[in-house]
Amino acid sequence: ISHHYAKAFESLFGIVTCLPGCFSMYRIKSPKNGAWVPILANPDIILEYNQNVVTTLHEKNLLLLGEDRFLTTLMLRTFPKRQMMFVPQARCKTVVPDEFKVLLSQRRR
């Protein structure tokens, strides 16, 4: 319940600060002046999100445990005029892991 209230409140301002992967849908491209402009596939976002060299515990946690918040921050910083919204009516389906170890790896937080 708190997830719905927190995200709905953030949506009032158009800036949801963390979009967890299991609850998110991203626009990959957007039409602009008759052409398709990359949004999620923007080279700046891919370059920064793709980094895998970490030198501090903070960077390790940011990239391995907080990757959803990191991606959301990159999206907001790259596209400050776009909105990140929470839509409570949205529905999704998931594939349940076949093995317990896979489930545990998903639940590492």
> What's the average model confidence in pLDDT over 20-48?
85
- Does residue 32 carry a pLDDT above 60? yes
For residue 109, what pLDDT is reported?
A: 57
pLDDT at 35: 92
- C-alpha 6/C-alpha 57 separation (Å) is 28
pLDDT of residue 108: 65
Residue reference for tokens 């990359």: 38
pLDDT of residue 96: 84
For the entire predicted model, the pTM comes to 0.68
* Confidence at 81, pLDDT banded by 50, 70, 90: confident
